[in-house]
A = this chain, B = another copy of it.
Amino acid sequence: MLEKIDEDAETVKEDRVNRSATIEDVARAAGVSRQTVSNVINSPQIVREETRARVADAISRLNYAPHVSARRLRTRRSSTIGIHLDPYAGGISGVVLDRFVHALTEQAGERSLRVMLYAARTPEEEIRRMGDLREGGEIDAVVITGTFPGDPRAEWLLERGVPFVSFGRPWGRDDVGAPSHHWVDVDGAAGTAEATRHALATAGPRVAFLGWPAGSATGDDRERGWRRALDAGDVRAAGWTPIRVVSDENVARARDVAAHLVASDEIDAIVCVSDSLAVGAHLAAVAAGRPALPIIGFDNTPAAEALGLSSVEQLPEEVAVGALDLLLGGAASIEHRAAEPGSAHVLVEPRLVVRETAPPSVQP
């Protein structure tokens, strides 16, 4: 467990052992404010000489060590969480991880924790970085992202007993009942199922799926949600065979793949595994003279918003709260759709953001 800096708790605890002076002790002893003590340490030139001398005397008498490293040395805790950033790769959906980093930074700040970034191009490089920072006492815990089956990072962290949580499932045999480590993830299948139900209710029974090639854990999970909703909706009974086409994560190729799909009159809507593919499908639909064809993306990126496409929103803010709750031992102070207390995972249910596809009418 990562411990929060809790000044009060620490003070109480240290009274019984080897209590160190705090900045408040110095302020009280010198008869000045906390800010003045801080000024004497950081900007002595702006403090009156007499005040400066009084504060300096109190610092000396109380043996006050303002440097956080002093506490780190005593506690061997940095209250800092490490997280790696990939090199910027562009693409429509890259924004999701950046949103998560924003949210993690904000939520960590509210818990008096720090976030330290490190760059890594491969899992092996990430392991080296984590090792260096951990060895240096610069981080107490890490968050890993983009987990995959057989992820060497999880194994490395487990072996060394480093507290961590992953954004992404371990993708092992029983992730939910007996996961190999703490994790937070977004329930992709629930998201595509909701998108599919919405399309069935508003567009018609023939809802196609534009996915990634089989074999990506995330993509397969999202496809399952579409199938589940179609089955529940009794679409096969209506005599239509569900259509599924695939493209890699590329707008232009998705447009090409979707061209055949939208040119025929065999579908009422398309649910997509990502916003990149949804944008490609939308461009194909516009080209085929069907700009209002309902197309639903995944990730609710600025690109989907700009084009007025509905999309499944991952709620990275809830993922960040879940990750910190797990690291800190399940404080569960902030609402999220988590599993039971004491659970080793948080599965965030995404939310469909519905946009009216109101394409600008063509003017002469």
Contact A361 B306 (CB under 8 A): no
Contact A72 B76 (CB under 8 A): no
Q: Is A253 located at the chain interface by the 8 A CB criterion?
A: no
- Interface residue stretch chosen among A54-62, A95-103, A143-151, A192-200: A95-103
Contact A287 B109 (CB under 8 A): no
Contact A306 B109 (CB under 8 A): no
Q: Is A283 located at the chain interface by the 8 A CB criterion?
A: yes
* Least distance between A100 CB and chain B CB atoms (Å): 9
Contact A160 B69 (CB under 8 A): no
Q: Is A286 located at the chain interface by the 8 A CB criterion?
A: yes
Residues of B within 8 A of A118 (CB): 105, 109, 114-115
| Given A90-B302, A303-B302, residue A286 in contact with residue B289 (CB < 8 A) | no
Contact B138 A114 (CB under 8 A): yes
Q: Is A265 located at the chain interface by the 8 A CB criterion?
A: no
Please measure, in the bound complex, the distance between the C-alpha atom of A247 and the C-alpha atom of B41, giving whole angstroms. 48
Please measure, in the bound complex, the distance between the C-alpha atom of A261 and the C-alpha atom of B71, giving whole angstroms. 63
* Least distance between A353 CB and chain B CB atoms (Å): 11
In the complex, what residue of chain B is closest to A43 when comparing beta carbons? B160
* Least distance between A306 CB and chain B CB atoms (Å): 5
Of B70, B76, B131, the contact of A73 (CB 8 Å cutoff) = B70
Interface size on A, residues (CB 8 A): 76
Q: Is A341 located at the chain interface by the 8 A CB criterion?
A: no
Copies in the complex: 2
Q: Is A85 located at the chain interface by the 8 A CB criterion?
A: yes
Contact B66 A87 (CB under 8 A): no
Q: Is A364 located at the chain interface by the 8 A CB criterion?
A: yes
Residues of B within 8 A of A86 (CB): 102
Q: Is A228 located at the chain interface by the 8 A CB criterion?
A: no
Q: Is A174 located at the chain interface by the 8 A CB criterion?
A: no
In the complex, what residue of chain B is closest to A86 when comparing beta carbons? B102
Residues of B within 8 A of A303 (CB): 92, 302-303, 306
Of B85, B106, B255, B289, the contact of A364 (CB 8 Å cutoff) = B289
In the complex, what residue of chain B is closest to A115 when comparing beta carbons? B117
Please measure, in the bound complex, the distance between the C-alpha atom of A124 and the C-alpha atom of B233, giving whole angstroms. 54
Please measure, in the bound complex, the distance between the C-alpha atom of A17 and the C-alpha atom of B207, giving whole angstroms. 74
Q: Is A208 located at the chain interface by the 8 A CB criterion?
A: no
Contact A302 B73 (CB under 8 A): no
Q: Is A67 located at the chain interface by the 8 A CB criterion?
A: yes
Residues of B within 8 A of A279 (CB): 306
* Least distance between A218 CB and chain B CB atoms (Å): 19
Q: Is A68 located at the chain interface by the 8 A CB criterion?
A: yes
Please measure, in the bound complex, the distance between the C-alpha atom of A119 and the C-alpha atom of B105, giving whole angstroms. 6
Q: Give the B-binding residues of A (Cβ under 8 A).
A: 38, 41-43, 46, 66-70, 72-73, 76, 78, 80, 85-88, 90-92, 94-95, 98-99, 101-103, 105-106, 108-109, 114-119, 129, 131, 133-138, 159-161, 251, 255, 259, 263, 276, 279-280, 283-284, 286-289, 301-303, 305-307, 316, 359-364
